[in-house]
Amino acid sequence: MNSSINIKYVLITAIAVVSSFFFHELAHFITGKLLGYEMGMTLNSAFLLEGEYRSAWHQQLVSAAGPLFTILQAFVIFYFIKKTNNRYWYPFLFFAFYSRVLAMIISIFNPNDEARISAWLGLGYWMLPLLVSFTLLILLIKTSKEQRYNLKFNLINYLLSTVFIAGVVFSDQYIFK
C-alpha cells in the first residue's frame, strides 16, 4: 500500500484535525442546548454561557457527547478505510485516537471529558480514558496492519496532527476569544 505523504494528504490531515475538533465541541454544544442551557463554543471548547448545570447528570451527559462523537467517528472511518482502502481517510481515524490520548494526558492537570465522567461514576480518573484510548488504539493498529501503514507513516501522521493541533489551540486562545 502506498503510504507516501503528498500535499493532498497534508491538507486532508488539516481538515481532519479542524473538523474533528469542531464536531467534537459541537456535540457538547448541541447536547447542552437540547438540555435547555445557553451554550457557547469555540473550536476547542464548549461551555455554559452563565450559571451552572441543574444536575450532575446533565454535566456528565454534556461531557460525554464529545467523546461519543469522536468514538463514533473512529468506528465509521475504520469501516470506510476497510471498505475503500483509501488512505486519505486515515487522518480522521488517527486524530480520533490522538485527540483522546491527549485529553487523557491533559487530565493529569485538569480532568477532561472521560476523566470527569469516570470519576463521577466512581471508577477513578483513569478507567474511561484508558478504555477509550485503548479501544481507538486497537482500531489504529488493526488499520495500520491491514493497510500496511508503517511506523514512519504513523510518525508523520503524529507530527502533522501535532502541528495542526497547535494551530487550533493557538487560534482558540489568541484569535477567537
Q: What are phi and psi of 115, to 5 degrees?
A: -65, -40
Under 8 Å between Cβ of 128 and 117: yes
| Confidence band, pLDDT 50/70/90 cuts, at residue 90 | very high
pLDDT at 171: 86
Calculate mean pLDDT across residues 129-155.
97
- pLDDT, tens only, 38-87: 999 999 999 999 999 999 999 999 999 999 999 999 999 999 999 999 99
Mean pLDDT value of segment 120-145: 97
3-state secondary structure of 51: coil
- Calculate the average pLDDT of the chain: 94
pLDDT at 177 > cutoff 60? no
Q: Sorting pLDDT into bands at 50, 70 and 90, what band is 134?
A: very high
pLDDT given for residue 3 in this prediction? 66
Distance (Å, rounded) from C-alpha 147 to C-alpha 168?
Answer: 29
Please give the Cα distance from 110 to 143 (Å, whole number): 31
Q: Which three cell numbers stand for residue 2?
A: 502506498
Q: Which amino acid is at 115?
A: A
Q: CA 66, CA 79: separation in Å to the nearest integer?
A: 20
Domain boundaries, the chain: 7-175
> What pLDDT, in 10s, does the model give residues 4-26?
789 999 999 999 999 999 999 99
